[in-house]
Chain A
Amino acid sequence: MLSLDFLDDVRRMNKRQLCYQVLNFGMIVSSALMIWKGLMVLTGSESPIVVVLSGSMEPAFHRGDLLFLTNRVEDPIRVGEIVVFRIEGREIPIVHRVLKIHEKENGEIKFLTKGDNNSVDDRGLYKPGQHWLEKKDVVGRARGFVPYIGIVTILMNDYPKFKYAVLFLLGLFVLVHRE
């Protein structure tokens, strides 16, 4: 039987202290959640921080870069600007440059994108039958970036067991450790 000495503190706790340990864990998770939702509200984007997943925008953005997005209604989308968009039915956001725009008088636009480092435009990536993207597909525009940090996120997604192990250990530590 393992010597579970590290649980000694927990075993000596009364109901209220145990309750506080769980609440403490809950508050740490809630704080992270609230900061994320707060950023969503502030920037207007449903995913205010994204990681560049491929090298299709080199040399501007490399795989693993962290991008900070805003999605204000007033920002016009113009040819040559970089947008982050999601293709209907897919979860992964894509960071590419706008190539062509068709604009109606009332401001509705349809646009075509292409990665700087790709040889063809993105029509191959769009939904079958879809030839243009619209404003509703846009997640946001990049306003700032931090290089390399996103590699951790990519690693965690490529090795989900590693991610669960790290989260489990962190959670256990918070629950067992007294302030």
Chain B
Amino acid sequence: MAARNGKNGLLEKWRIDEKPVKIDKWDGAAVKNSLDDAAKKVLLEKYGYAENFNLVDGRLLICTISCLFAIVALIWDFLHPFPESKPVLAICVISYFIMMGFLTLYTSYQEKNIFLVSVQKDPAGMDLNHTWQLSSSLKRFDDQYTLRVSFTDGKSKHTREQEITKSVGAFFDGNGTLVMDQFEKCVSKLHNTLATEKKTK
């Protein structure tokens, strides 16, 4: 019991979920990532949706298979020195680059800019789960962050989208600390607009 508490204690110290997010305000990638993470937090914690990992898992699977091809090539070449290993190496190299092609296609067309797929479980448990998707874009060296929320009705499979574009300066203070309240307000507004649309339809 004490040991488990000890391990949890270390894990608690490692994870810093509660520490305010502070990033380098000039690093575009870090800004987008922190805004994406915050939007995720709002949807998952405030509204209690469950995250669906299928998209991410797909990407992880493709990467793992590619690395496996590389490992096979490495080990085979080590066990059977070069000239004998030529055919196996050729197959592994070609497969690897095909997998790379797959990965590019997957991230461009399947994942697009989506960073969250979440499921809103029907409280009555009547098996009509709605899907909320978040995607965003932030151009290089630009300050206009676009957040797109898309709602897919579980029954009609009809998808509605709403997006908002704002300058990142509205959410970060001068030091690069994310002002969660402002951002949460913005995301919630977007979410509620879509939710009420659902009710009026």
Do B16 and A41 touch (CB < 8 A)?
Answer: no
- Give B19's nearest chain A residue, CB to CB: A8
A27 to B102, CA, bound (A): 14
Given contacts A33-B70, A178-B29, A178-B30, contact A11 B15 (CB under 8 A): yes
Interfacial chain B residues near A16, Cβ < 8 Å:
53, 56-57, 60
B91: min CB distance to chain A, Å: 10
A26 to B62, CA, bound (A): 12
Interface size class of A (residues with CB under 8 A): 20 to 34
A41 to B86, CA, bound (A): 6
B64 CB-CB contact with A under 8 Å: yes
A149 CB-CB contact with B under 8 Å: no
Q: Report A1-45 CB contacts with B as 1/0, cut-off 8 Å.
A: 000000011011000100110011011011101100110110000
Interfacial chain A residues near B37, Cβ < 8 Å:
12
**Which of B92-100, B128-136, B145-153, B166-174 is the interface stretch?**
B92-100
A179 CB-CB contact with B under 8 Å: yes
Number of B residues near A (Cβ < 8 Å) is: 37
Interfacial chain B residues near A122, Cβ < 8 Å:
none
Interfacial chain B residues near A46, Cβ < 8 Å:
81-83
Interfacial chain A residues near B92, Cβ < 8 Å:
34, 37
Given contacts A12-B37, A30-B70, A178-B33, contact A37 B17 (CB under 8 A): no
A18 to B179, CA, bound (A): 25
Compute the total of residue contacts between A and B using a CB distance below 8 Å. 73
A14 to B119, CA, bound (A): 18
A58 to B182, CA, bound (A): 69
Interface residues of A in 104-139 (CB under 8 A from B): none
Checking A20, A37, A178, A179 against B93 with a beta-carbon cut-off of 8 angstroms, the contacting residue is A37
B14 CB-CB contact with A under 8 Å: yes
Interfacial chain B residues near A20, Cβ < 8 Å:
56, 59-60, 63
A31 to B15, CA, bound (A): 32
Checking B16, B22, B29, B82 against A40 with a beta-carbon cut-off of 8 angstroms, the contacting residue is B82
- What is the interface of chain B, defined by CB distance below 8 A to chain A? 14-17, 19, 21-22, 29-30, 33, 37, 53, 56-57, 59-60, 63-64, 66-67, 69-71, 73-74, 77, 81-83, 86, 89-90, 92-93, 96-97, 100
